[in-house]
Structure 1
Amino acid sequence: MSADLGQLQDRLEHHFKALSEERGQRKLPVYALEHGLTVEELELMTNGLKRRLGIGGYTLSTHWLLWIVFATEQGYDYDGDEYWYTFGRRMPGWDHGWRPYIRSWFRRFQRDYGGLRPVGPWASNFSIIAWPITHSLLPKDLQSQLARSLYNLRYNLVARLNLPVAELGRYVARMSYGGSSRYQNFLQQEALVGSIVLALLAHRAEVGVTIIPATLERIVSDLERARSARQWLHDTRKAVETAIIRGAARNVSVHGGLQNSREPEHKPSIRPSLVLRQIRTDEWSPTIEIPSFAEVADLAPELGEFLRTTRCQVAGSPGWRPPGWLLNGSQRRTLELWPAAGKPVLSFQKPNAVMEHLLAGEGTIRSGPTWLFRIGPDGQAMEVLSRLIRPGKSYVLVARGDLPSLSLAKPTSIICRDVIAVRFHVPATLSDELIAEFKKADLSIAETIRVWPAGLAARAWDGEGATEWLENESPVFAIEHDHPLDHYILSLDAGPSVRIPAKPPGEPTFVKLQPLAPGNHVLGISVARDTNDTAKRPVEGVISLTVRRPNPWVSGTIGHTGLIVSCEPPFPTLDEFWEGLTQLSVLGPAGRQVTVTIELLDGTGNRLGREQVAQLTLPLGPDSWRNAFTAFARVEKQPWHYLGAGAGRIVVDGEELGVVHIALSRDVAPLRWVWQDTNRTTHLRLVDDHDAETPLQVTFTSFERPVQAIPLSLEDVVTGIEPPSPGGLFVATYGDKHEALVVSSRKISGGLSGLLIEPEFGEMLVEPKEVLALIKAISIWSAARLTGALAAERRQNIVLRLEERLYDVMLGPDWARAESKLKNGKVSFDIAVKGLLDCFDKRHRAFAFILARDAHKHAHATADARAREFAILAQRYKVAPGAITRPAIDLGEAIAGRMPFSDDDLLSIIKNVWDQPALAAGERLIQLLGHRPDRYSSPDPAERAL
């Protein structure tokens, strides 16, 4: 057998050397899955390695290429669950300490044969198994997801097949939405993705193949075993081949030559837009929105590298933005100085001629001297580039210099240097004088004529001129204009026209028709401004009338025979569903019933378990779904593979109405907690694929003592442990990464009082380190995943008690009691808030009242505006003269889990706030009151006058 393994080793060395020489000329990588071994040879190799492990003195590196092939085969079968568990099961005798050898052999494979090196966050978190999974090209659990992405992009791929492989892979990655986190990690390997896409689509189109045929045949064969993936791949190939053929025919000129087949150049949209945000009555804060520069980065690798490594600055907004800021979606910045018209709003720390050229044409705001904004119902005013105003709408006009004279305008405040502003409302009806006034201010008026069905409702009305009526009905229409008119001219079909005098602007005119014969009719409407306007071509419009006979009613029929299912968020995860963060709405025939179930799947799509959530009556709204899910979550069930599932789906079954599936993805972490069921008990087990040199630590924290972490044996948790009743928090940590899980089981003793466990904290230490420990505990409890009965309720109670303890340490027991009264609702809202305000001394009472009164405004302001306003108030009311107020805001953000800090930075923030309790209490007021529907109104007239 040793001779057989040696022969396979020699054969693989020659095979990969030949591949490396051929690929090196084209600068293409070699993949370990391209080993060229048959199924029988793989089985022979695996059995030989098993036997050699059983013999003492065996040197693994003797057959290092065989071990690479074996590891890659496990990567090809990887479904996102447990790589090393499967590896060890298929190779008895494998020692956990040999894992780093796999990584060193793959590095040798990269050096000797040009193998691909894994990159990206996935490679960082899974530093060993990233190698075999990358070299497995397309693991089975990702094949159907790639096929679906290619199907969605099938009409756009044909124009990009000639791109370099990395650019093609980048395009597929950028345009692929949804899918599991494993799939997103796979898409990070842009060159790999591009190579596979070209190979899959070139399989029948006869384009140059970058993967050996045997390996490609294997991937395609596995793809085609899944019904949906097979159809997606078939349709994609067909669409690409058809587009190539049609494109070739279209590019042949009548003279026999070839025309230029190059597509029109796509110009990315990078024009900034201005927005005014209303921060209080008649006060506006301008912001500028910069579109994402992702499309600019795709224009050329040099531009992408420049954007990823260069800081930028927004005109009118101080401070440099970090490298890559423009690639993370659209960005908004508050303006302190109005940008100069005609000049780019972006500047970079380093010069770049191409970027400067793009910005000079597209990166500027509209030239002034005035800018028009339409006020929306959300309190924001959007810029109107066309300068077109509409009756009934409100506007803000911003000017650099003198404002135009408008009789309707009222001064308004804008928090920005170098500009002034006025606000005006356009009346529903416009006089000739107003029209002339607006035109003089360089504002265009949208003159509109509205026509709509009146009286008896039409059977159908699309809002654009098409109506439907029954033959025994008399259609009635209302006509209204918002500008001076003299008369209307109406005509029905080809009949004579009728002239009707127009009423004053804003007053509707009603027109009634006689019942019409079944069929299609047209009502023509034209208008004239005055009696002398008839010589000019009048403004014309038509109304389409479809007249039909009444439909007879048939017993048992319904008006809608299908289901409309919507989900929020659109692409939920399995954890979001399990924690009740998914909202489901189902529309269909009223009174019909649908069955909603949840299915759990492994990484390859095989079903692990199925549970019925509820049987519900249509229509199903968010409230009904919330009640049904709450009842479902309260029922104590077996864990049914929830923690071990790689994905899931919500199934809405309406029988003959149809079945709708909503995919539930799951992020795969290097450390994962899973359940393992035995005959009598349920064990919790840790899956360890982190592969890092940093030592792994595992702790348990009980509900009773939520700050005291007890170390656990790594060997025990990897094998499996039985969680103590009633459960608690399990945390596995390496470096700065951790995987946390709250496990909850029903408490046998204590009756109803035992359902929510009250924690014990012991002696309280009034010092910054105690606050740091409490904040860290709040953070890890809040972010942990949940499983088991009452897990969410118990965690919420623990977090609540930790916050009370924290503010007891920082602000004293009076504050902790007052905050508890506000949360439990045993006293009125105003009395509870007054109790919080009483915790401030008299010198700082005005500061506290202002924050309580305006808590909603502060909570919804941008971070910079909030910090600026907070500092102004602290200075005005002498709360902390000369002190820096930012640490108080940072502390509140850290407690709320919205801003991560290192332990050293967080301890420094706590110490800065420690001697300024009024600042910490003020920030806490904003957190407590900013998102409540109630508004505080002090009974003290002196306070209300502030």
Structure 2
Amino acid sequence: MRLDNRIAAMPVPLEQWQARLERHFESLARKRSSSGFPIFALEHGLDQGELDEIASQLRSRLRAGLQLAPHWLLWVIYATERGYTYTGDEYWQSFEESTPAWEFSDRDRIKPWFRKFQKAYNGVEPSGPWAEHRRIIAWPITHAVLPRYLQREFARALYDLRFRLATMSSLEPARIGRLLAANAYATTRFQEFLQQEELTGRIVLALLGAPSGDEGREPIYRKTLDRIVADLEKIRSARGWLKETQRVVSDRFKGIGHGVAPVQRPADVRARPAEQLPHPEVRPSLLLRYSGDSIWSVVIDMPDFRGVAALNAEVASFLRRTRCRLNGAPDRKPAGWLLSGSRKSVVKTWPDQAKPLLEFERPNAYLTHLLESECRLGAGPVWLFRIGADGTALEIAGHVVRPDCDYVVVTAGDLPERHAFMSACTIDCSGVKAFKLAIPAAVGAEDTRWLHKLGLQIARTIRVWPAGMPGRNWDGEGRSEWLTTEQPCLALMHDHPVEAYALSIDRDGEQIIKAGNPGMPIYLKLPALPVGTHLLTVRARRSGALEGIASAPPEGHLQLSVREPEPWIPGVLSHAGMLVRLDPPEASLDMFWQNKVALSVLGPQGHSVYFVLHLESRDGSEILSENIGAPMELPVTPDAWSKQFGQFVKREKVAWSLLEAAAGRLVINGETLGETSFRFEHDVPPLRWVLRNEHGNIVLRLVDETGHEDEGPEASYCDMQRPLRREPFTPEACRAGLTVQRPGGLFFARRGQHSDMVVVSTGLTAGGFQGLGVSPVCDDIGTTALTLAESCRILALWRKARLAGFLADSRCQQVRNSIVLAIFERICGSTWASAESDYRRNPGSANANDNLKRCVVDGRTPGFAIVLHRDHGTMNGNFGQASAWYAELSRRYKVCTDPGLCTFALKFASAPDRIEDGYSANLDHMLGQLAAAPAILRGARLLATLCAQEQGQSIADTSLLPRWRW
């Protein structure tokens, strides 16, 4: 009896587990062969106890140094389970911590085993840019179906798009995945996951209960699906989102046959001509916002372009990667702006009526066709805006005014003669003029004729308006917006005898509705309408009592713009009292922390807003919650925000908090004006430095998920005190962890096309205030070990690197200044370097000014420097023309006869840390030419210094003067 118990307690050998799971996956593959659904390694059907037993035996076999290949399928499942619990940070670190004796070189075994699984059982294959950049870990994470760290976001995305899913005409996985990728508000990591459109579509079908027919033919194995759903239900919000989505979409699946149709890929819309593609609604809204003191600002509100992005992957990729510009705005919007939550922008120049309201910096045939036909300003030269109670004036396309209402009239011509209805106002937009128009309760014949001369009409006496829940963006004159999930409800009322109304939608037949008594409204409900713009025509049949009095019966038109429900996006504010703009709209936490995000807040004068920053650790716990300075009065400009936030991040406590932060949330509170927030997350590139604060020391480790099979990444370090000397690191040292020595420095890593760099600052360099700074030594430039070109390349790395640690920003600036000054001293000479330093310290000194001019050409042809000093304002215009002017002046004074070298000198003098971007192939040659003719660079440097000073830029603290755009 005891022997039987002992035998029963013995673990099942790995060979038996291998054979059992081979039979399981073979059976699953046979059942799915007709559906085309691929197999996931997570569909193993094992419970947690069985998984623990297998994992224990695999680890024991690994420690014993035995062969791993005979149990390749078990290792595939083991790696997939690590992928399922992946936190989105470091896969291999957690894998190695839970797998003692696993070595770095063992990673290369994983991918061939997954390849074997894919070929043997029609396993899923990772796809998309994310998989291309993470060639090994893409396999276990993809086979994990839906890793836990993405489950909450996935459930939220389904919830936001539940109505779109419920109305889809076909349930093809690729189409569903494309809908998710184009419309889901997502963090960077979730966006990467959504790039696998076919995979995400199949997960959606499984989670929402699409009929699958026989057991084994479902998109995901039932036990695996139950496991994912159970994990989702552990997250309170995700559980509610999933259940609500299933409820909304369930009717869509009713009546669908239970047979399994063959898998068909959607037609490639990219091959269709532009005129045959769908035309989503992309007409912008034009509105005026009151800014105080009778001043009105012009705002263009662009519609959501995610419906356009959902057409196909090519259009979506174009919208994400291409900048655009609004007609009338000087600046270009960042790539992806049309897909973000807030798409309102103030324009300072009235849009050109001959052009669309939006243009892209690169052409796209379909979008060009769409914008030319759909995205235009209404006909002028007069535009009418009705003033609402919230201080916003909406455009009235029909040019119809109503008694007892106030308007703003914008005209491209001269203002009309004074009238009793008019009052003065100012529009903050060049190219047009404006006045305020107050229509009284009674309008006489002369007043009506005056309005007609302006192109305006008095409203008729039959009213039509949205009943019940008001239509969105109802302008009071026949334009409103509805959702596909709604049945528009309208009310009609007349103040004179009317027998009946004849109604038609899109001129498709008429329906007669009997009219009630004058002054008594009647109500009607329209059917739910598909996406698009629809025209409701209302024609009144006059009562017989009015026969012979009136001419043609009155007829009115209502425009109903119907769209899919648009999910609420965190950080998007619909309150009209405050307009927040973030550029770029989807910045990373590193970009935000380095003050590279332009933030502005518009709103009524006299109000203030305050900013609160919340930082979260990887487990979601809060590690920092602090106000960013004092409340700021509206409007908040990007410069004012940058100054206040720059002071905030210099605080030591705040700087150290970033090391532990995985995400941040910026809350902008305007109290009565509303509140909005933006979320930022760290970028997670395939090759990256990861920082930890361990007992007061900063430790870096290099995470390499590229999957390259070469010798290993290239890694190096430049100390802040010797910023141009690169010390190499071995891959083993980078993986084990590097303790940063004070005062810190630049850590760089590259493997193939992937690279990462970070400047880490720690500790003091001396006692007192002097220890806060650094004293970089850059005496290696121009030697055989460090060429001028290599110095510029290292300088560019110091500029591009993200920052971490206390005083990282100011110390990095000191390093960059020192390198720049050393480079110019090497080319222009020590005499010039001394003269420039004197001038930058005391630009008001006449002696310093004269000395700087004398040093340009070493006393020869002084007229060259005199003319540069006198006419330096020429450089503030078009750079191409200014460059030609400088080249001609250099030729005339026999300083340089090469126009190309003159242009290079101007660019290099302004921003040497960016020069490699345009001259990477011949940088050594161009710098050699400058070194041979230094006067041309001295002249360019004089111009850069003078122009920067003239524009108010401080030249005492920085040697980088990027004033010119080139």
Partner of 1:434: none
Query: How far apart, CA to CA, are the structure 1 residues paired with 2:208 and 2:933?
Result: 66
Kindly state the Cα deviation for residue 572 of structure 1 after the two structures are TM-superposed: 3.7
Which residue of 168, 184, 191 corresponds with 1:184?
Answer: 191
Alignment of 1:306-455 (within 5 A): 328-329=321-322, 383-385=352-354, 446=381
Which residue of 577, 583, 586 corresponds with 1:571?
Answer: 586
Residue 145 of structure 2: SS of its match in structure 1? Answer: coil
Partner of 1:74: 82
Partner of 2:762: 745
Which residue of 683, 688, 699 corresponds with 2:716?
Answer: 699
Give 1:156's aligned amino acid: R
Partner of 2:260: none
Give 1:573's aligned amino acid: S
Partner of 2:200: 193
Per-residue CA distance 1:318-349 (angstroms, 9 max, x = gap) = xxxxxx989842579xxxxxxxxxxxxxxxxx
Query: How far apart, CA to CA, are the structure 2 residues paired with 1:292 and 1:833?
Result: 58
| Higher deviation after alignment, 91-100 or 920-929 | 920-929
1:667 has 2:683 as partner = yes
Alignment of 1:828-847 (within 5 A): 835=852, 839-840=856-857, 842=861, 845=865
Query: How far apart, CA to CA, are the structure 2 residues paired with 1:600 and 1:478?
Result: 47
Residue 648 of structure 1: SS of its match in structure 2? Answer: strand
Q: Could you say if the C-alpha distance between residues 615 and 486 of structure 1 is closer, same or farther in structure 2, counting changes exceeding 3 Å?
A: closer
Residue 637 of structure 1: SS of its match in structure 2? Answer: helix
Partner of 1:756: 773
Kindly state the Cα deviation for residue 87 of structure 1 after the two structures are TM-superposed: 0.7
Partner of 1:580: 595
1:232 has 2:233 as partner = no
Q: Could you say if the C-alpha distance between residues 719 and 148 of structure 1 is closer, same or farther in structure 2, counting changes exceeding 3 Å?
A: same
Residue 568 of structure 1: SS of its match in structure 2? Answer: strand
Which residue of 200, 213, 227 corresponds with 1:218?
Answer: 227
Per-residue CA distance 1:480-513 (angstroms, 9 max, x = gap) = 99687899899xxxxxxxxxxxxxxx999999x9
Per-residue CA distance 1:83-127 (angstroms, 9 max, x = gap) = 111111222222222110001111222222222332344334322
1:647 has 2:667 as partner = no
Query: How far apart, CA to CA, are the structure 2 residues paired with 1:464 and 1:638?
Result: 43
Partner of 1:10: 19
Which residue of 439, 452, 458 corresponds with 1:540?
Answer: 458
Per-residue CA distance 1:716-739 (angstroms, 9 max, x = gap) = 443334322222222233345332
Query: How far apart, CA to CA, are the structure 2 residues paired with 1:580 and 1:789?
Result: 15
Query: How far apart, CA to CA, are the structure 1 residues paired with 2:82 and 2:897?
Result: 65
Does the CA contact (< 8 Å) of 1:16 and 1:35 recur in 2? Answer: yes
Query: How far apart, CA to CA, are the structure 1 residues paired with 2:735 and 2:904?
Result: 41
Partner of 1:633: 649
Query: How far apart, CA to CA, are the structure 2 residues paired with 1:664 and 1:930?
Result: 36
Q: Could you say if the C-alpha distance between residues 112 and 754 of structure 1 is closer, same or farther in structure 2, counting changes exceeding 3 Å?
A: same
Per-residue CA distance 1:248-280 (angstroms, 9 max, x = gap) = 9xxxxxxxxxxxxxxx96137999xxxxxxxxx
1:783 has 2:800 as partner = yes
Partner of 1:858: 878
Partner of 2:162: 154
Query: How far apart, CA to CA, are the structure 1 residues paired with 2:199 and 2:900?
Result: 50
Identity %: 30
Query: How far apart, CA to CA, are the structure 1 residues paired with 2:321 and 2:649?
Result: 36
Query: How far apart, CA to CA, are the structure 1 residues paired with 2:645 and 2:891?
Result: 49
Does the CA contact (< 8 Å) of 1:525 and 1:541 recur in 2? Answer: no
Alignment of 1:884-923 (within 5 A): 884-885=900-901, 895-897=912-914, 900=917, 904-911=921-928, 913-915=930-932, 917=934, 920=937
Kindly state the Cα deviation for residue 666 of structure 1 after the two structures are TM-superposed: 1.4
Q: Could you say if the C-alpha distance between residues 27 and 815 of structure 1 is closer, same or farther in structure 2, counting changes exceeding 3 Å?
A: farther
Query: How far apart, CA to CA, are the structure 2 residues paired with 1:866 and 1:28?
Result: 62
Query: How far apart, CA to CA, are the structure 2 residues paired with 1:216 and 1:329?
Result: 38
Kindly state the Cα deviation for residue 33 of structure 1 after the two structures are TM-superposed: 1.7
Kindly state the Cα deviation for residue 632 of structure 1 after the two structures are TM-superposed: 4.0
Query: How far apart, CA to CA, are the structure 2 residues paired with 1:677 and 1:444?
Result: 62
Kindly state the Cα deviation for residue 132 of structure 1 after the two structures are TM-superposed: 0.9
Residue 667 of structure 1: SS of its match in structure 2? Answer: coil
1:610 has 2:610 as partner = no
Query: How far apart, CA to CA, are the structure 1 residues paired with 2:847 and 2:669?
Result: 48
Q: Could you say if the C-alpha distance between residues 387 and 589 of structure 1 is closer, same or farther in structure 2, counting changes exceeding 3 Å?
A: closer
Q: Could you say if the C-alpha distance between residues 35 and 540 of structure 1 is closer, same or farther in structure 2, counting changes exceeding 3 Å?
A: same
Normalized against structure 1, the TM-score is what?
Answer: 0.64
Give 1:578's aligned amino acid: W
Partner of 1:166: 174
Does the CA contact (< 8 Å) of 1:590 and 1:618 recur in 2? Answer: no
| Higher deviation after alignment, 182-191 or 582-591 | 582-591
Q: Could you say if the C-alpha distance between residues 624 and 329 of structure 1 is closer, same or farther in structure 2, counting changes exceeding 3 Å?
A: closer
Per-residue CA distance 1:603-649 (angstroms, 9 max, x = gap) = xx522623534574475856886566455433333976633543232
Partner of 1:127: 135
Q: Could you say if the C-alpha distance between residues 839 and 160 of structure 1 is closer, same or farther in structure 2, counting changes exceeding 3 Å?
A: farther
Give 2:652's aligned amino acid: E
Residue 758 of structure 1: SS of its match in structure 2? Answer: coil
Kindly state the Cα deviation for residue 299 of structure 1 after the two structures are TM-superposed: 5.6
Q: How big is the alpha-carbon RMSD for the aligned residues of Structure 1 and Structure 2? A: 5.5
Residue 732 of structure 1: SS of its match in structure 2? Answer: strand
Point out where structure 1 has 5 or more consecutive residues left out of the alignment: 249-263, 272-290, 309-323, 333-375, 389-442, 453-457, 467-473, 491-505, 514-520, 545-560, 937-946
Residue 110 of structure 2: SS of its match in structure 1? Answer: helix
Which residue of 813, 824, 828 corresponds with 2:830?
Answer: 813
Which residue of 574, 582, 600 corresponds with 2:616?
Answer: 600
Residue 643 of structure 1: SS of its match in structure 2? Answer: helix
Equivalences, count: 726
Alignment of 1:81-96 (within 5 A): 81-96=89-104
Per-residue CA distance 1:417-454 (angstroms, 9 max, x = gap) = xxxxxxxxxxxxxxxxxxxxxxxxxx9973689999xx
Query: How far apart, CA to CA, are the structure 1 residues paired with 2:204 and 2:850?
Result: 61
Does the CA contact (< 8 Å) of 1:700 and 1:731 recur in 2? Answer: yes
Query: How far apart, CA to CA, are the structure 1 residues paired with 2:213 and 2:742?
Result: 63
Partner of 1:428: none
Normalized against structure 2, the TM-score is what?
Answer: 0.63
Query: How far apart, CA to CA, are the structure 1 residues paired with 2:91 and 2:98?
Result: 11
Residue 30 of structure 1: SS of its match in structure 2? Answer: coil
Does the CA contact (< 8 Å) of 1:45 and 1:66 recur in 2? Answer: yes
Q: Could you say if the C-alpha distance between residues 45 and 766 of structure 1 is closer, same or farther in structure 2, counting changes exceeding 3 Å?
A: closer
Partner of 2:844: 827
Residue 99 of structure 1: SS of its match in structure 2? Answer: helix
Per-residue CA distance 1:540-586 (angstroms, 9 max, x = gap) = 36999xxxxxxxxxxxxxxxx99969463443422133323454869
Query: How far apart, CA to CA, are the structure 1 residues paired with 2:441 and 2:253?
Result: 46
Does the CA contact (< 8 Å) of 2:776 and 2:818 recur in 1? Answer: yes
Query: How far apart, CA to CA, are the structure 2 residues paired with 1:478 and 1:783?
Result: 48
Kindly state the Cα deviation for residue 65 of structure 1 after the two structures are TM-superposed: 0.8
Kindly state the Cα deviation for residue 384 of structure 1 after the two structures are TM-superposed: 1.8
Kindly state the Cα deviation for residue 54 of structure 1 after the two structures are TM-superposed: 3.0
Q: Could you say if the C-alpha distance between residues 29 and 461 of structure 1 is closer, same or farther in structure 2, counting changes exceeding 3 Å?
A: closer
Q: Could you say if the C-alpha distance between residues 26 and 879 of structure 1 is closer, same or farther in structure 2, counting changes exceeding 3 Å?
A: farther
| Higher deviation after alignment, 922-931 or 726-735 | 922-931
Q: Could you say if the C-alpha distance between residues 778 and 29 of structure 1 is closer, same or farther in structure 2, counting changes exceeding 3 Å?
A: same
Give 1:752's aligned amino acid: F
Kindly state the Cα deviation for residue 926 of structure 1 after the two structures are TM-superposed: 6.8
Does the CA contact (< 8 Å) of 1:756 and 1:794 recur in 2? Answer: yes
Does the CA contact (< 8 Å) of 1:118 and 1:130 recur in 2? Answer: yes
Does the CA contact (< 8 Å) of 1:169 and 1:190 recur in 2? Answer: yes
